[in-house]
Structure 1
């Protein structure tokens, strides 16, 4: 493999995809070899993301793009309805997937891990690439060992498709691993308004807020006798995820199998 890492980007014209393209073009260790976007096909990838032309024309066919350009890594920030198929396609071509989209089931992650190992390549699925968000999740998992009464409140813009967010689900999974499993709240409580107590995960609750003008926030609240602990992370713009994506692109070359969660790379 050459010193320069060849990168393809799926969903290159999307809000996150544009930031990935900018990041790849700015890093001398990375080479953008394919930009795949249905609506942006035929447009120079640089112009697609608001930069000067870079000489690479975006295309719409992922399978053909991977076959022709033979990248080392595919970065995918598309949508849940297509991301699993995109990931399978990448592995089929021997391309390491680095995926920021959500919506994978545990069974799908196991299947992708098997496919990666059969192809002798690594892959990464990360619900959140923000280093601060990963630290928030790790701190929350540690706190839950001592303060098992917990609730998660996550807030995103009103156009987000999934609820709860992938970050909230991953946080809940990490909390549940070391938390004493208890059913929280009054056993006789009644939701006068259905859904008022949020979604239940392993005995605790996750609340999703969707409002215009908000980017991404998550707060994990712990309650104990005479005290509370709040661990909060705020993301202000998509560029904040790019240092983590950059690390993911470079580290995915070093291992085999599908890794679920960016925290395993830190």
Structure 2
């Protein structure tokens, strides 16, 4: 899938069957994001969404860290690691319709934390640390930290992260429900790939529809919840996958899904 080696050297794009692995590859800078990374990520996500043979993406960092945020040297040169309409790292403002998992070792700071927050699931090592240090540098977390954290954490924990700028250990955030799985150091990627394989066994249409309902329903009026849900879910029950799932269960075999996940933004 590495069709653009000139812009993708800072982002390794690999396929493991129906799983796409995206690795930020600037270990010497704790994988701080550059414009090149943002452009490469956006291109990789576009292809991921377009291909029916790829079901789940996993994003991680090389060299023992996830991502330390924006490359400040690039910022001083006037470069911002964002893509118009896509946001920081080419993903935070418009994550993929298909599921994406963050595999976090070491530091996930500033935009790196926001990149993880843009993912659907987070697997983190026990020694991982997450933080929004922007206030320490006279900046604010505009790549999703300030708007996603209070939706995914108790408000006071979100306030502490944003206002102190101090990192929090993964264990505390796991206890708050932000992290799906807490694993020994060095095992985050393996566990994330195992989780991705578990998701990839399921109907792509059912998975992406479930994701859409969960993400969108928080904005629906209470009186319209089930009507709006039906608008998204009725096509699933009428799909060939619904019949195939029932038949496979009755025949005690693995289902052969016919659907592919739609590649339109949520």
User: What TM-score do you get using the length of structure 1 for normalisation?
Assistant: 0.27
The structure having more radius of gyration, on CA atoms, is: 1
Looking at secondary structure, tell me which structure has more helix per residue: 2
The higher-RCO structure (CA 8 Å, 6+ apart) is 1
User: What TM-score do you get using the length of structure 2 for normalisation?
Assistant: 0.27
